[in-house]
Structure 1
Amino acid sequence: MSARDTNNPKNHVLIGGVSVPLGGKPGIRREFTSWATEAPAKSIQVSLFIRALQKFYDTPYTETLSYFQIAGRHAPFHTVFFCSSYSPGLWQQTLFNLMGEVIEDLKIEDPGVKKEWLKERSTWRLPYWNWALQPVEGVPDLFKHDKVAICTPSGTEPETVTNPLHRYEMRVDGKVTLMGSPALGKYKIDDVKQEPVEWTQWISLEFIHNNLHVFNGGAGDFSKGIGHMSNVPVAAFDPIFWMHHCYVDCIFAMWQVLNPDSWFDPAGGQEKLVPFHNDFGGERHVDYFNSDDVRAYSTFGYEYDVLVRQKGQEDEEYVAGITSHINKTYHGTGDVLQHDKGGLFLSGQLGGGDKDYEDYVINVLYDRYGYEDGAPYTIHFFFREAPAEADVRAGDRMIHEFPGHVGSISTFSSPVETVGQGEDNTLHCAKCARQRDEGVLSRASVSLTISLYKDAVNKNIDAIGDLTPSTVETYLKDGLTWVAVSMEGRFIPWNELDKTKVFILQGTSEQPTDNNIFSTYRSYTSMPAATDGKEAGASKQDYKDFETGRLSMRV
């Protein structure tokens, strides 16, 4: 879809999700690992998914509903101007439709077998990849192999086919073609440095999203370069992109259930999600979705396995079950601190109970567009000295594997610049350009408590004796360091990121033993000695401005 024809209803692709029969229930999005690894060679859904995905790949790249163009909505192609809105929904809808074509292509003669395959198709929904599951086993096995065995309608031996989950290959006239090849004409990638829509107000969810893109893309081992998932324009061409985004959507869905009265504020729910359309009937007729339209995600024909409500389940029991799932899945600070035998914290001396612990956090203000007009970078935090740039670039290990690594913040951004020619000459992301011009800053947090606790109990290092505020502030003043690193492994001087400000805060956390109750965090105060005088560190005046609300998110 080009910039010239987006107002022509004839060119609109309507997104209605997967239809559910009257009185039926939405299909379930399952966690990918359990969905795909129970017995993939015997699973009809896995077979349908693999076949449909390959068919998706084989759709000519010039077609609007080709894999190339749908993935391209996350990219800078001159005739594709998609934003970062309802991405997994269109992918799911397209694959579901292709599964119907696959069943017809298979020419299943046995009515009973065909009915079974149609039933499996009707209940399939795009799975999500929960990268937080324990134990951490990395990328799911089904993504790792070039070939995959899938079942056939005949019920004989599984058929071994090329695994489309392993990679996406662009083909022109049957030949594998690079994305920048002149053979693609106006669809080729001239510049893989563009930016999707970003939401500063929702930086917590974006922070998780961005870091996982960078982790999965391999950024950090600079001797090998980066994979698709680390690179904004081509991230969507990595098949795992869609399962990752499904999980981001799942996290948001859990938040919705736990916060039913919260929604877009102050951004507003009427902002158009260009270019996603539906036929709403009435005066709106064919129109863009807005955020209010997609608030009830089940209207698109899916539900998440972790959010299925049992018949007759009361609200309190339902919410408690979701809370328990989150606590068990993410193994937060409380799981570590519950093992503390005492003596490290001021527990019980803060007016709380024996479940109260000091909590320490890094808060960072940073400019996503501060480095080369939006080129991506990551801020890494270390206890003691950060590694040397030469050691990091050597590629012997990932940067987060160096001693003392505490955490990181990834921008997952790319330059805001003009793309296209003639009538197509436009900003890829006008909102990004506006935020850059207005000096809008982003923010993110890195927890310090667990890292401090591990140093305190590690008898092999002379680190920190206890986790009381005065001791921690001194420890961080002497030993907390940070570096900004480009995707190429360059250590970026802080004068090139002069709007960055690193703050340290200390508060109190209550860590309940009941998994049905969330931890609570309160009463945060500043620790200026930990950062004052350091490059990119917040000054004492910055802390005062922060406490009084005078510190602006604009510069």
Structure 2
Amino acid sequence: MAVWSSLKYAVVASCAVGLTQVEGLPTAAPTSAGITEWGIADRHSLFARQNVVIVTGAQGANPSARQVAVRKEIRQIINNQDRSEFHLLLLALRRMQNMATTDPLSYYQIAGIHGRPYMPWAGVNAPRGTNLNTGYCTHADVLFLPWHRPYLSLFEQSLWSNAAAVVEEIRQAGQTSLYNRYNAVLPAIRLPYWDWAADASVPREVGEMPTIQVETARGMQTIPNPLYTYRFQTNLAEFAAVQPFGRMRETYRWPSPTNTPDGYTSQGAALNNAMRRIAGDLRNRAYRLLSYTDFNAVGTRVTAPGQPARDSLEGVHDTVHGTTGSNGHMSFVDNAAFDPIFWLHHANMDRLFAIWQATNPGRYSLSGSSAGTYAIPRGTPENMNLQMPPFRSSENTFHTPAGVTRPESFGYSYPETLNQTPGNVIAAVNRLYAPGTPSGNLGTAVRAAKHKRTVVRRQDVKPASNLNTPPSPDALTTIQDKVVEDQKYQDWETEIKVNNAALKSSFNIHIFVGDVPSDSKTWASDKNLVGTHSIITTVDGGHMESLVSGTVPLTSCLLNKVVTGDIKDLEPATVIPYLKKNLKVRISMPDGEASDIKKVDKLAVQIAVATVTLPASKEELPKYGNYEVQFDAVDVPKGNFGA
């Protein structure tokens, strides 16, 4: 495979050419917060000269051309009548998963950067003062989004190179027709994203098909589905410290004990039921977060005593992790990246980051203090020039938050952001996410009532099937005058603060309005569930102690209650007594077992309200006022454990 070898080493050894020729990319240089402080001259040097990997992303066969391809939603690729792109993606990912586990561009090695097996990747060693019992990833940290951008680009870099190798193998096999089709789609191969905010369900091809058919040089063949699971080639010794992962020969979602050789199977249907139950919660959170203007607020779940609780892209990301994993690999930071759905999920997180950047030009700036990783000591001051190991921008420097500003510099973009104005991007966000949110549905209802365009049938005046999804615009037309005045309405939320390491493991905070089933294993799909906020830690959970926050929106639920007549409006005098009587907070572990709320260190759940102004045009987002706390639902430090 001489051609594959040349492609591979062009990517590994010479990709700096592609990166330096990307217009507008800042040059990363050692700073006082960077390599000098980390002791590059001693035996703890971050750099080793063997296995040097320069992270450029998928720049194509000709890096100087600065090719930019659009990452696509996974369902768009799956549903394309021409299956060439989907089949090539599957073959490339399968090839990447089968690479030798010692190769720094293998699936195993790249996934291992995020957490276990807690060892140097590509010669990037741990300097003094770092935590050797964690991975390189930055969680509970303002670097969360910028650090994951070169991480995904590294994965995409290897994925594209494997796709190129597959195409070359088909050419050498003399399959001219198949070669022409796959070669035609090769430039478009990028890491797909899973837009759970638009559609929270997991496609069958990702969640329910252990094997899948693809067209190869030998015709149609059935292969292990590389989107469904990753099968480990190692002896799992690096996972044996915390069972059952030392026994799991492949990655699982919602693992259930069975008589299979591994002893487990994934439960795709249960996963989809849980994701659909919180679909409105996820969409509303993502839509609201895109209205934030401060990157330090939108970027990380970390908060501090005395600060108001707030949501973040990292926080909603955690909930997707917890819900897709449910005691499988995605439930824990140190194991998550081995599950193929991790990459689809994080591509969507990067997309939301890119959308936020596009709608907030000039506002991407960060400052903070590192939570500590395998390569960054805890307490390291963070700024736009801090280097982010282990992702090299050159042989002697790492990528920085400033240097990863533009996705295009890594050879990709997104449908909503490529060559678009901020107004156009906001219009795209409104098309995708406003329907099915309180603001979107109320806005439609108000406009319909104003122009008297809608005659609502009695049978259409009904609540939504999920409490976290608002009633339809038709149903809201009949009550909009009770909840909207002068284009404004009252928006309610639960505000959550908790110690990230409160239970020495990942856990879930569930918000119910109404009765709660006694069987905690049914909570994730219960009709009275309004939303879930997940806390994601390592399997042992002990070293990630920090105060974090998140929210669960309540307005969709309350609008349903107005439609059913349980409450008359959204005013505090109406809502406060109703929620004091009906809102309940419950805690579950990743396996679904209930946990005693009294044991959840620093847990505080408050109910807050803000005034929201509906957007006046398609190129505007809702304007959220300051949330004011109305009452404490739970305050563990003060002995308030809720209903």
TM normalised by structure 2 equals 0.66
Q: Which amino acid aligns with 1:347?
A: V
Structure 1 residue 464: Cα displacement: 2.7
2:552 corresponds to which residue? Answer: 446
Structure 1 residue 64: Cα displacement: 2.4
- Larger mean CA deviation between 473-482 and 102-111 belongs to 102-111
Closer, same or farther: CA 244–33 of 1 in aligned 2, 3 Å: same
Match among 88, 109, 126 for residue 152 of structure 2: 88
Closer, same or farther: CA 266–232 of 1 in aligned 2, 3 Å: closer
Within the alignment, does 1:304 sit opposite 2:414 as a pair? yes
Match among 213, 220, 231 for residue 149 of structure 1: 213
Asked if structure 2 preserves the Cα contact closer than 8 Å seen for 1:508 and 1:522, the reply is: yes
| 1: CA distance, partners of 2:571 / 2:225 | 53
| 2: CA distance, partners of 1:123 / 1:100 | 11
Within the alignment, does 1:271 sit opposite 2:386 as a pair? yes
Within the alignment, does 1:216 sit opposite 2:324 as a pair? yes
| 2: CA distance, partners of 1:417 / 1:402 | 27
Structure 1 residue 403: Cα displacement: 4.1
Q: Which amino acid aligns with 2:209?
A: H
Closer, same or farther: CA 116–4 of 1 in aligned 2, 3 Å: farther
Asked if structure 2 preserves the Cα contact closer than 8 Å seen for 1:363 and 1:502, the reply is: yes
Q: Which amino acid aligns with 1:124?
A: I
Asked if structure 2 preserves the Cα contact closer than 8 Å seen for 1:386 and 1:482, the reply is: no
Structure 1 residue 482: Cα displacement: 0.7
| 2: CA distance, partners of 1:347 / 1:46 | 46
1:16 corresponds to which residue? Answer: 56
Structure 1 residue 10: Cα displacement: 2.6
Deviation string 1:363-389 (CA, Å, 9 cap, x unpaired) is 1111101222xx11111111234333x
CA RMSD of aligned residues (A): 3.1
Q: Which amino acid aligns with 2:520?
A: V
Structure 1 residue 101: Cα displacement: 1.8
Point out where structure 1 has 5 or more consecutive residues left out of the alignment: 181-186, 220-225, 280-284, 419-428, 541-555
Structure 1 residue 479: Cα displacement: 2.0
2:250 corresponds to which residue? Answer: none
Structure 1 residue 509: Cα displacement: 1.3
Asked if structure 2 preserves the Cα contact closer than 8 Å seen for 1:275 and 1:288, the reply is: yes
| 2: CA distance, partners of 1:200 / 1:515 | 32
1:483 corresponds to which residue? Answer: 586
Structure 1 residue 405: Cα displacement: 1.6
2:105 corresponds to which residue? Answer: 65
2:530 corresponds to which residue? Answer: 406
Closer, same or farther: CA 323–145 of 1 in aligned 2, 3 Å: closer
Structure 1 residue 260: Cα displacement: 1.2
Closer, same or farther: CA 52–31 of 1 in aligned 2, 3 Å: same
Describe how 1:60-139 pairs up with structure 2 within 5 A: 60-80=100-120, 81-84=135-138, 85-86=147-148, 87-106=151-170, 107-109=172-174, 114=179, 116-134=181-199, 137-139=201-203
What SS is found at the alignment partner of 1:17? coil
Within the alignment, does 1:505 sit opposite 2:608 as a pair? yes
Asked if structure 2 preserves the Cα contact closer than 8 Å seen for 1:503 and 1:537, the reply is: no
2:520 corresponds to which residue? Answer: 392
What SS is found at the alignment partner of 2:163? helix
Q: Which amino acid aligns with 2:302?
A: T
1:49 corresponds to which residue? Answer: 89
Match among 198, 204, 208 for residue 312 of structure 2: 204
Closer, same or farther: CA 334–480 of 1 in aligned 2, 3 Å: same
Deviation string 1:330-383 (CA, Å, 9 cap, x unpaired) is 6321234333323774532xxxx1x211111111111101222xx111111112
Match among 66, 74, 80 for residue 38 of structure 1: 80
Q: Which amino acid aligns with 1:488?
A: D
Match among 151, 158, 165 for residue 220 of structure 2: 158
Structure 1 residue 153: Cα displacement: 5.7
- Larger mean CA deviation between 226-235 and 15-24 belongs to 15-24
2:484 corresponds to which residue? Answer: 347
Closer, same or farther: CA 56–327 of 1 in aligned 2, 3 Å: closer
Closer, same or farther: CA 163–493 of 1 in aligned 2, 3 Å: closer
Match among 288, 301, 306 for residue 398 of structure 2: 288
| 2: CA distance, partners of 1:193 / 1:538 | 36
What SS is found at the alignment partner of 1:151? strand
Q: Which amino acid aligns with 1:216?
A: T
Q: Which amino acid aligns with 2:187?
A: S
Q: Which amino acid aligns with 2:79?
A: T
Closer, same or farther: CA 27–511 of 1 in aligned 2, 3 Å: same
Structure 1 residue 306: Cα displacement: 2.3
Match among 512, 524, 536 for residue 636 of structure 2: 536
| 1: CA distance, partners of 2:365 / 2:612 | 27
TM normalised by structure 1 equals 0.76
Closer, same or farther: CA 295–304 of 1 in aligned 2, 3 Å: same
Closer, same or farther: CA 123–457 of 1 in aligned 2, 3 Å: same
Structure 1 residue 298: Cα displacement: 0.8
Asked if structure 2 preserves the Cα contact closer than 8 Å seen for 1:379 and 1:408, the reply is: yes
1:366 corresponds to which residue? Answer: 498
1:543 corresponds to which residue? Answer: none
Closer, same or farther: CA 316–303 of 1 in aligned 2, 3 Å: closer
Paired residues, number: 466
Structure 1 residue 23: Cα displacement: 5.0
| 2: CA distance, partners of 1:206 / 1:317 | 25
| 2: CA distance, partners of 1:62 / 1:453 | 55
| 1: CA distance, partners of 2:220 / 2:167 | 16
| 2: CA distance, partners of 1:140 / 1:251 | 24
- Larger mean CA deviation between 15-24 and 475-484 belongs to 15-24
What SS is found at the alignment partner of 1:288? coil
Closer, same or farther: CA 416–261 of 1 in aligned 2, 3 Å: farther
- Larger mean CA deviation between 499-508 and 202-211 belongs to 202-211
Within the alignment, does 1:255 sit opposite 2:356 as a pair? yes
Q: Which amino acid aligns with 1:97?
A: S
Q: Which amino acid aligns with 2:508?
A: T
| 2: CA distance, partners of 1:346 / 1:262 | 34
Closer, same or farther: CA 79–23 of 1 in aligned 2, 3 Å: closer
| 1: CA distance, partners of 2:239 / 2:483 | 60
| 2: CA distance, partners of 1:119 / 1:191 | 46
1:457 corresponds to which residue? Answer: 563
2:624 corresponds to which residue? Answer: 521
Asked if structure 2 preserves the Cα contact closer than 8 Å seen for 1:371 and 1:496, the reply is: yes
2:17 corresponds to which residue? Answer: none
Closer, same or farther: CA 192–236 of 1 in aligned 2, 3 Å: farther
Closer, same or farther: CA 386–493 of 1 in aligned 2, 3 Å: same
| 1: CA distance, partners of 2:507 / 2:559 | 28
| 1: CA distance, partners of 2:417 / 2:154 | 22
What SS is found at the alignment partner of 1:11? coil
Point out where structure 2 has 5 or more consecutive residues left out of the alignment: 1-42, 121-134, 139-146, 246-298, 304-309, 369-382, 446-472
Structure 1 residue 410: Cα displacement: 0.4
Closer, same or farther: CA 122–477 of 1 in aligned 2, 3 Å: same
| 2: CA distance, partners of 1:506 / 1:234 | 37
Closer, same or farther: CA 512–23 of 1 in aligned 2, 3 Å: same
Structure 1 residue 29: Cα displacement: 0.5
Within the alignment, does 1:332 sit opposite 2:422 as a pair? no
| 1: CA distance, partners of 2:242 / 2:605 | 32
What SS is found at the alignment partner of 1:160? strand
